[in-house]
Amino acid sequence: MMVASGETDWRTRQLVPGREARQLNQSVHEPAKQVDLLAKFESLCGEKLTVAQKKGLHCHNIAIRALTYGIMDKQMAQYYLREIDSRLKTSTRQAVLDSKGYIFEGQLASTGQSYTSMYYVFRGAGVYCSKVFDVGVAGVEDSMQLEKAVSEVVHSDQACPTLIKVLDAFRAGHHAVLILPLLARSAADLLAAASPGVVDDEATAYVAAGVLAAMAGLAAKGWCHGDIKPANIMLAAGAEKHVVLVDLGACTRFNEKLKEFTEHYALGLPKVASLQWDLACLASTLCILVGIPVKSLSVEGVSKYMTRLGDDLSFGGQLALHILKHLDMVDKVEQLRAVVWDEVMERVRGRLGEEHAATLAAWWPSPL
């Protein structure tokens, strides 16, 4: 960067003693404020700070005061923040490589959550997806541990191919990391690429079957997914068409208050974990994929709207309507299969043929 004559590059200039500097020097040595700051950070960390951490905190305090008194300008502060962020990411990547052998590459599309990021990772000849959590955010590490625990218990004694499986989970530096299978795109991406109502019968059939099967796997272990929506339904790449329900961080035990959800998908149902909640969210997802509005509507309202369409109701809409009409009849896995799954399979067989129906039927969870 060129610097005009008589000026100094802000990255290398020395602070000039003056009133602001004296204020800065005085403020950072005020014992009471230092103790308060130390207590605050120890409370956040849940443990006593080390000597090195205390020195770092002292530098942090100096920087804050410098910014307050105008000795450090916004440009300088942003430069330092970018540098710190870069070093944190580099240290985490190196820690993961050293301890686990994973090599991080480019970032995947956003998860829609401010505290997580998705990356391509390599190990050996394998390519995976990593979901990285910022553990500085309250509750985030608990969310990561929940995803790991739910995956382990669901996949422990049953084959459940349409529910995401956590391959590895660990803490590295300032982050918690999940290693997951690498999947192509989400149903939300499909919806964005297609014109409203253009998502075809095959896509809606596969989404319905994939999510119902994943729902059954979760329900068999007492879990409600809680946040079924297009963004959490992944589509595999290649000739072998496959659907996977992801993001287990919102999973909640049946009959407990839901922790995380996208409210309008549940069509006004009580915010309690249940098969009915997940089924309503699936029905809403199918409606959205085929261009049927659901926002601000109830189960009854959406059902009436689809019923009025009669023969013009799309195949995805027919599956959604069947699900909504039978919500009250399903609160166990056995009922899910008898009342919803079997009928969906019959409709798929009638619309898409035996080959597709056989493919989807194999997705239902089976004992290992």
Contacts of 275 (CB under 8 A, 6+ apart): 215, 219, 224, 254, 330, 331, 332, 336
Sorted by where each begins, the domain ranges of the chain are 19-78, 88-180, 185-367
Residue 76, pLDDT > 80, answer no
Residue 61, φ and ψ in degrees, nearest 5? -65, -40
Residue 181, φ and ψ in degrees, nearest 5? -60, 145
For Cα atoms 56, 57, 63, give the angle at the middle one, nearest 5 degrees. 90
Closest-CA residue to 249 (of 266, 230, 233, 225) = 225
- CATH code of domain 185-367: 1.10.510.10
CA distance 153 to 170: 17
CA distance 220 to 29: 60
Question: How long a stretch of residues is the chain?
Answer: 368
Average pLDDT over residues 8-24: 46
Instruction: Flag the least confident range among 85-89, 253-257, 316-320.
Output: 85-89
| pLDDT the model gives residue 99 | 81
Q: Which helix (H) or strand (E) holds 286?
A: helix 275-289
Residue 283, φ and ψ in degrees, nearest 5? -60, -45
Q: Which helix (H) or strand (E) holds 202?
A: helix 201-219
- In the DSSP assignment, the letter for residue 231 is G
In the three-class reduction of DSSP (H, G, I as helix; E, B as strand; rest coil), residue 135 is classed as coil
Residues linked to residue 244 through DSSP beta bridges, in sequence order: 234
Is the pTM higher than 0.85? The answer reads no
- In the DSSP assignment, the letter for residue 17 is P
CB 135 within 8 A of CB 171: yes
Residue 75, pLDDT > 60, answer yes
Residue 352, pLDDT > 70, answer yes
Average pLDDT over residues 144-151: 96
| pLDDT the model gives residue 6 | 45
CB 184 within 8 A of CB 236: yes
CA distance 305 to 85: 50
CA distance 277 to 262: 11
Pairing label, strands 223-224, 252-253: antiparallel
CA distance 138 to 299: 34
CATH class belonging to 88-180: alpha beta
Residue 69, pLDDT > 70, answer no
